[in-house]
Structure 1
Amino acid sequence: MGDVKNLTADDAVEKIREIAKDANICMFVTDLSNLPLAGRPMATQEVDEQGNIWFMSDRNSDKNKHIENDDQVQLFYSHTNNYEYLSVFGKAEIVNDRSKISELWTPMAKTWFKEGKDDPNISLIKVIPVDAYYWDTKNNKMVSLIKFAMGAVGLSPKDDGGVEGKLKV
């Protein structure tokens, strides 16, 4: 069993930023009240100083329509190379701010928005975290693999090298 370390304020924002940056892509789930859940991979553009998570989206997309009907979303990040995982439940807002779009624009975004940062179909989604939980390793990958292998052959180390906890921004 790993350690539990709940983080608040700036520490929580930094942990969200760290895992979101490392993983980059999350499963962005909308329409939470209907099954099956509507999820799709989304690239994180930024985690701001308040812990809000920003994405670019087509203003005519299903996800934007879902958010207009129900602003509750769930984000799942997985960076398996570093054994980092993050689950964020939050409230999403559609933002149409051309200066913020310019600020967050990257050349990769042109893959989805052929007209560049001035494409009229670009919108932003700002996710305000309400509840978040992370799982991380305290050790590097090699140490974690050795501890995992020891556990698999019955040699259980006292500490599995993990740390997890709630994040309150």
Structure 2
Amino acid sequence: MNSIDKQQEETNRKNLVGPEAIDKIRSLIDKSGSCFFVTHANLNGSHQSRPMAVQKTDDAGNVWFLSAKDSVKNMELEQNTNVTLYFQGSSYSDFLELNGHAEVSYDKERIKELWDPTIKTWFTEGVDDPRISVIRFIPDSGYYWDNKHGNAIAGIKILLSMISGKTMDDSIEGNLNL
């Protein structure tokens, strides 16, 4: 790798820690709204993935979901609380992987706080449906891939790169440590 390539790689990498990592997490989750929720325990030892809508991301970076008490996901969390979340905010940016663990609770006040009328599709008795549980995902690390200046600038740089034959990479990525 020549010095120009190495310098480009260093400017495209920014590891984030603490509050800066939490701000990045919240920003990227807000752009996607849903994720793939991957549990690490099941009967045959493989990972299980399913789409989940995020109800809230709090100031500590915890991600909150509502789930059915009798779901396979909840049963898997009883065996192993390790979870990975994958987010994609757009086709070209706003990618996020989070690793951590999940806690399941049945806190009625939290359910009311997180409730959204569209959830009635899964919980037909509404906010008081006895099948509702709360999952709090607590991240400890992650990785993000994004662009530095927004999708419009990144798109222009891609076009200019195609025309000029010169790299004008606008990407940025890095570790997230909480």
The one-character-per-residue Cα deviations of 1:37-83 (angstroms, maximum 9, x if unpaired) are: 21010001111121111111000000000000000111000011561
Amino acid paired to 2:27 = E
Does 1:14 find its partner at 2:23? yes
Distance 2:92 2:105 in 1: 32
Residue 28 of structure 1, aligned match among 11, 16, 37: 37
- Within 5 Å, which residues of 2 pair with 1:39-118? 39-81=49-91, 83-118=93-128
Displacement after TM superposition at 1:151 (Å)? 4.1
Q: Which is higher, the Rg of structure 1 or of structure 2?
A: 2
Distance 2:160 2:35 in 1: 31
Distance 2:164 2:86 in 1: 31
Amino acid paired to 1:6 = N
Does 1:134 find its partner at 2:158? no
Gaps of 5+ in 1: none
Amino acid paired to 1:25 = S
The one-character-per-residue Cα deviations of 1:67-118 (angstroms, maximum 9, x if unpaired) are: 0000011100001156100000111111111001101111111121111111
Correspondence for 2:155: 145
If asked which structure has higher relative contact order (CA below 8 Å, sep 6+), I would say 1
Indicate the structure with greater strand content: 1
Amino acid paired to 2:84 = Q
Distance 1:59 1:153 in 2: 55
Displacement after TM superposition at 1:161 (Å)? 0.8
The worse-fitting range, judged by mean Cα deviation, of 96-105 and 2-11 is 2-11
Distance 1:52 1:122 in 2: 19
Amino acid paired to 1:39 = S
Distance 1:87 1:148 in 2: 25
* Percentage identity across paired residues of the two chains: 38
Amino acid paired to 1:8 = V
Distance 2:155 2:149 in 1: 10
What SS is found at the alignment partner of 1:20? helix
Residue 166 of structure 1, aligned match among 151, 154, 175: 175
Residues 144 and 61 (structure 1), Cα distance of their counterparts in 2 relative to 1, 3 Å cut: same
Does 1:4 find its partner at 2:13? yes
What SS is found at the alignment partner of 1:4? coil
Correspondence for 1:119: 129
TM-score computed with the length of structure 2 as normaliser: 0.86
Number of equivalent positions = 167
